Structure 1
């Protein structure tokens, strides 16, 4: 589940249903369209893909594997099939879908409870929710009409945004006898405009003037909305050169959460300074700057001689779904990831873990090596729901009792590698061996990547096992 307050990241959902009647099919289709256009939810519906002859079983398996949530639409036929009955309509796709949902439920009840959400559409009945989804004890979502207000409970679950945010704990100071307590709110002064990260702005940090570009800029409030967090790539203006990755916290109200966000940037700078020069794949620190209520951490963004400017991230290297990655490209990816594992091992030796690895935070160098632009969440305390949605390790999800750490990075390294080789990130709900998608992958590599994606952190191999498996590759046949 994603972090509350995150802007611009749409949850991906698969709408699972049966074709009870033309009216029911039309209602499901309208609901899926409402999710996309009315709520901004990345919903998938099978009728939108009936543009060519296709393997619907393979398509359904892929949807169940890659979706963050499965919306199970209640109906008499859906209940009968999901609870083990035979499909009455043509084909057996729905029976397979129901069998996979039951298998996932048996394998991991907490994860399936979080991920598979029973939904009752207008005219539907809660009695038609499958018994295997435990509607009485675990709840369901009734959508009486297709409006945002009517779907608010469902939308809050999809976005991880509670109706009432738990406020931070302040400092308890008992009043003096006979004196009423007084709460004083200090408003932050407006920050200097030549320090705030904004697209097209020129910021002055440590005497170096940098132009902020819009390609990697983002802004969002912190957990309690007492601070604004920004990040952006910026290019140095003459006489200086090179690009930097800037992450900034602007404190609007002095709360514990806002102070923790600033402290995390300062701590990350300390870690970077201690690790500087240990591994070329680690970020190079350029400085930590405090200016009133602004705190900014600058790291070097790797440059590319071939591009004549900043290097590209791995987000540009992700293949299309179904595209075959050629052996040379596969070899380059695996060796680059092996080097990245060495850098993460140095970070782990310093007592920290990245916990926020994504293709957008990794830059490909001209020689094929992969470099980090920052240390992710290494300086932040673990929080439920942290981490990148598509590569989030099971222990980072809300409700998990397992601790994050070095094994979290192992999972995310394997998840990013899976995406670079297959075109889709892995799903913990349907654990398919990676060789199913990439038959040409060497046996040792496939085994270590499958093991690295284990739901239990204790079952994953250490980085020391990934490095040789990804480095010592068999020769490519002539």
Structure 2
């Protein structure tokens, strides 16, 4: 909806969000305001409408109908509303039902209209499954600024403009009179080993079936592309593995190749001391790719599924004292491998539920070593970014960063809510079931000042009390 006096036609956008927390709404409001005031997008929030008594179904139908695009803000509550029959706040439940109906009525059209947006404080795992978070584009925004890369990508989508101008078509090139002799242009071996959902790839003579959920943390652009995915190693012992792969697209320094080699060596060294780190099975070079093959520690039997903590983020109503204590004790087991990294002058820096593998009901393991094998830089990506990891960070990144992220994971798992980026709600309010010692330690570890945080060892000790 345009305000009086606004005549320039711009995309009409409805920012559809769930009411998770007050901090979440503040982020949504900041995002919608940025779209209107600094990007010239006619963004609309339900909260900007007069609080008149009205038919909520008709009002929501009108918002969806008038919008050129509906920006669906990812959050745990939004995922529950759209992917289940969970009853939330009435207006959001109506909107989620309408979104499902539009997808069923015209899937291609609805996917073009409904764009999933991941704001700071959320993760792609919070995108409703019906919006195809892995097979269709999403917009993972690190900073709510118009010059943020993903904000720019979103603006190009809203204005229906390409990210790069297409070059003009050149004159036809003469076609050779006879085909080239067989074998004169060898096929690129990398094409058959790239990680794609559902692909069967052969690496080092072994066959792997790549599962859905291929991640490209830095996107497909640039001279090097990093991909990672769960897979099944076909043939004895038929175990689940985690693949981390770098593809070189052009000449470059090969820094990412060296990073994978460094992680392989770190795991081989730390694995002699710790059981809660993945086992490095192989480091394989094929064509323009290098792939690190990891398997997690076995218990009584190989797991049937690749499960991470992201599959077990609870709803607040599902929590009880036994579940909370069991969760904290399992997370405490991750302190030992993190301390091994810290002793070597390294830090993980990418701790998050989807990066922690669930071995069984009582044991967890790191899916990989995160960013431990590459230098720390301000502005680096992370699901839970500590203050020192932002561009505005004034302190050095280090072991205290892992303490912040381990506490953030614990907060999320025992409350069902992500901690706020600036001032998270104290644990006592978010989850009253947590023992007092653990409450105090989690609150301290989430302090923006790294010097006030406990070590991961102290944090684990508090989790066990």
Task: Give the total of aligned pairs.
Answer: 328
Give structure 2 stretches of 5+ with no counterpart: 37-49, 52-143, 157-162, 164-185
Mapped pair 1:277 → 2:275: no
- Per-residue CA deviation, residues 120-152 of structure 1 (Å, 9 max, x unaligned), is xxxxxxxxxxxxxxxxxxxxxxxxxxxxxxxxx
Answer yes or no: is the 8 Å Cα contact 1:289–1:295 preserved in 2.
Answer: yes
Query: What's the secondary structure of 2:201's corresponding residue?
Result: strand
Aligned-partner Cα distance in 1 for 2:199–2:35:
51
Mapped pair 1:344 → 2:305: no
Return closer, same or farther for 1:263/1:73 CA change in 2, 3 Å cut-off.
closer
Answer yes or no: is the 8 Å Cα contact 1:288–1:297 preserved in 2.
Answer: yes
Query: What's the secondary structure of 1:319's corresponding residue?
Result: coil
Answer yes or no: is the 8 Å Cα contact 1:311–1:365 preserved in 2.
Answer: no
Return closer, same or farther for 1:249/1:370 CA change in 2, 3 Å cut-off.
same
Partner residue, 1:464: 457
Partner residue, 2:351: 357
Answer yes or no: is the 8 Å Cα contact 1:231–1:245 preserved in 2.
Answer: yes
Aligned-partner Cα distance in 1 for 2:272–2:392:
38
Answer yes or no: is the 8 Å Cα contact 1:65–1:427 preserved in 2.
Answer: no
Mapped pair 1:421 → 2:414: yes
Return closer, same or farther for 1:343/1:70 CA change in 2, 3 Å cut-off.
same
Aligned-partner Cα distance in 2 for 1:308–1:437:
33
Give structure 1 stretches of 5+ with no counterpart: 1-21, 37-42, 50-58, 76-88, 91-152, 166-187, 473-478
Mapped pair 1:333 → 2:312: no
Query: What's the secondary structure of 1:273's corresponding residue?
Result: helix
Q: Which of 294, 297, 305 is 2:289 aligned to?
A: 294
Query: What's the secondary structure of 1:209's corresponding residue?
Result: strand
Answer yes or no: is the 8 Å Cα contact 2:281–2:295 preserved in 1.
Answer: yes
Instruction: Tell me the TM-score normalised to structure 2 length.
Output: 0.63
| Aligned alpha-carbon RMSD (Å) | 3.5
Query: What's the secondary structure of 1:285's corresponding residue?
Result: strand
Aligned-partner Cα distance in 2 for 1:373–1:190:
30
Q: Which of 300, 310, 317 is 2:312 aligned to?
A: 317
Aligned-partner Cα distance in 2 for 1:23–1:292:
54
- Tell me how far 1:454 sits from its aligned partner: 0.7
Aligned-partner Cα distance in 1 for 2:29–2:391:
13
Q: Which of 15, 18, 22 is 1:61 aligned to?
A: 22
Answer yes or no: is the 8 Å Cα contact 1:418–1:434 preserved in 2.
Answer: yes
Aligned-partner Cα distance in 1 for 2:218–2:445:
33
Q: Which of 428, 432, 436 is 2:425 aligned to?
A: 432
- Per-residue CA deviation, residues 288-321 of structure 1 (Å, 9 max, x unaligned), is 112232111111045686895134110111112x
Partner residue, 2:437: 444
Answer yes or no: is the 8 Å Cα contact 2:277–2:297 preserved in 1.
Answer: no
Aligned-partner Cα distance in 1 for 2:395–2:389:
8
Query: What's the secondary structure of 1:245's corresponding residue?
Result: strand
Moved runs in structure 1, 4+ residues, more than 4 A? 22-25, 30-33, 64-75, 160-163, 220-224, 302-308
Aligned-partner Cα distance in 2 for 1:67–1:380:
33
Q: Which of 148, 154, 171 is 1:157 aligned to?
A: 148
Aligned-partner Cα distance in 2 for 1:221–1:190:
23
- Tell me how far 1:446 sits from its aligned partner: 0.4
Aligned-partner Cα distance in 2 for 1:409–1:311:
24
Instruction: Tell me the TM-score normalised to structure 1 length.
Output: 0.61
- Per-residue CA deviation, residues 440-460 of structure 1 (Å, 9 max, x unaligned), is 211110000000001011111
